[in-house]
């Protein structure tokens, strides 16, 4: 979309998912070749082209994944397919995108391999980590962009990535309150939000500043040993009688029964003599200290979450100390790490997980006296620079969000391409 907007013509596209190939055809019906699995396409059959654009799978390099890199067969080695196309087709420019963690993955070895292979097939390259929010677009989406020029065609030294403008972001700019095509909040979800809203209100009433570290409510009232010897290597007698998840007394006839009464993250199996990670030790200590200082008002609230799933017992306040102590005017997002609360400036990155769609609690729900709904597909498309995108009627809302979450930001790509193609 970015390059078409700059008057370039797509001559070939490859996308492994059929519904996304259909999406290409709907939006770019004149593209002569839209193929499936690129590993099954003969390189000689790919048309000659001036610019190769590619995003190779990010999961092998993402901080959220197993970080297997090139050892992730079928995904991690997709980069080599790109290299082979460059080697045979020799386009003048290359334009790649991946997760920001790519350069630091495996102590820099992954990046060194990518750089070496691209140089070996004849390209001068440059790279930069950029996010739409740096240009006033209300989405925080740090990605590494890699550009290259074939060395016999020019020098990369003349290229400069666009400088961030750091314009103010406001999520209200993309919200359409009249959009009726929204996913409603389940009653259960509203209950989770209301419970944590009460927590925030109680904190304010008791002059408690919400911490910058993640709140792990499972640690409230706990006193099991965790710093020197992880519970998995403790004897049953060391666990029995201690307080585990939400301060409940640990009982049971077997060690397995007792371990099950700890917070899920404290049940980790570690090697003999291996401690918990430093960050985990720090978060447990911080949460116990927080509870100790605020026990009086927390104990009046804690029963509300006893039946919640683990992730719903976690809470992240990303709003600092000066924000209003309410969730009503913030961006909310349910993640594996808990309910995350952000200022209404820019959205967290859209991602492949359909359950992590941002929530706008202040938006009126049409034909209802309720407030609060998920970001709509149109709004998500807008923060990706894809307002004109047409979706197939066969694609579910969740799948539409997954597609947008797997896409590059059009405006950022356009800004880089304008510099590269001068």
Q: Which two tokens stand for residue 236?
A: 């049953």
CA angle, residues 223, 225, 229, in degrees to nearest 5: 170
Half-sphere exposure for 214 (CA within 13 Å, toward CB): 20
**Full DSSP string of 191-227:** HHHHHHHHHHHHHHHTT-PPPSSPEEGGGTT-----S
Q: Would you call 155 exposed, middle or buried from its count of C-beta atoms within 10 A (0-12, 13-18, 19+)?
A: exposed
Q: How many CB atoms lie within 10 A of CB 74?
A: 10
The number of residues making up the chain comes to 422
**Beta strand 314-318 with 338-342: parallel, antiparallel or unpaired?**
parallel
Q: Would you call 354 exposed, middle or buried from its count of C-beta atoms within 10 A (0-12, 13-18, 19+)?
A: middle
Measure the CA–CA gap between 242 and 56, rounded to whole angstroms. 49
Give me the residues paired with residue 54 across strands: 96
Residues with catalytic function: 58
Three-state secondary structure string covering 267-330: HCCCCCCCCCCHHHHHHHHHHHHHHHHHHHHHCCCHHHHCCCCHHHHEEEEECCCCCCCCCCCC
Q: Which two tokens stand for residue 40?
A: 């099954």
């Amino acid at each position: 979309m970015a390059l078409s907007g700059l008057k370039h013509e797509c001559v070939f596209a490859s996308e492994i998912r059929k519904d996304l190939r259909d999406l290409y055809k709907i939006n770019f019906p004149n593209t002569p070749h839209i193929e499936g699995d690129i590993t099954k396409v003969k390189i000689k059959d790919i048309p000659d082209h001036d610019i190769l654009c590619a995003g190779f799978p990010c999961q092998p390099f993402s901080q959220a994944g197993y970080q297997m890199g090139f050892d992730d067969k079928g995904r991690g080695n997709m980069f080599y397919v790109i290299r082979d196309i460059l080697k045979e087709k020799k386009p003048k420019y290359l334009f790649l995108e991946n997760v920001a963690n790519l350069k630091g993955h495996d102590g820099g070895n992954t990046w060194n391999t990518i750089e070496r292979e691209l140089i070996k097939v004849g390209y001068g390259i440059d790279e930069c980590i950029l996010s739409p929010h740096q240009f006033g677009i209300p989405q925080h989406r740090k990605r590494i962009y890699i550009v290259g020029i074939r060395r016999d065609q020019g020098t990369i030294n003349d290229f400069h990535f666009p400088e961030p403008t750091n314009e103010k972001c406001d999520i209200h700019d993309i919200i359409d309150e009249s959009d009726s095509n929204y996913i409603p909040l389940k009653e259960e979800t509203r209950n989770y939000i209301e419970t944590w809203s009460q927590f925030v209100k109680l904190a304010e009433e008791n002059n408690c500043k919400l911490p910058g570290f993640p709140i792990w409510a499972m640690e409230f009232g706990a006193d099991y040993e965790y710093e020197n010897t992880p519970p998995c290597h403790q004897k049953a007698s060391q666990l029995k009688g201690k307080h585990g998840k939400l301060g409940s007394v640990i009982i049971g006839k077997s060690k397995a029964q007792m371990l099950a009464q700890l917070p899920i993250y404290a049940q980790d199996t570690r090697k003999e003599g291996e401690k918990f990670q430093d960050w985990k030790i720090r978060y447990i200590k911080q949460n116990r200290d927080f509870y100790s200082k605020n026990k009086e008002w927390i104990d009046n609230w804690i029963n509300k979450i006893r039946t919640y799933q683990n992730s719903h017992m976690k809470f992240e306040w990303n709003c600092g100390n000066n924000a209003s102590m309410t969730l009503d005017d913030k961006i909310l997002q349910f993640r594996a790490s808990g309910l995350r609360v952000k200022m209404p400036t820019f959205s967290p990155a859209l991602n492949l997980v359909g359950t992590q769609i941002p929530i706008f609690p202040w938006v009126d729900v049409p034909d209802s006296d309720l407030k609060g709904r998920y970001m709509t597909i149109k709004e998500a498309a807008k923060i990706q620079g894809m307002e004109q995108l047409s979706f197939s009627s066969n694609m579910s809302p969740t799948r539409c969000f997954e597609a947008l979450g797997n896409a590059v930001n059009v405006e950022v790509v356009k800004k880089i391409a304008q510099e590269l193609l001068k």
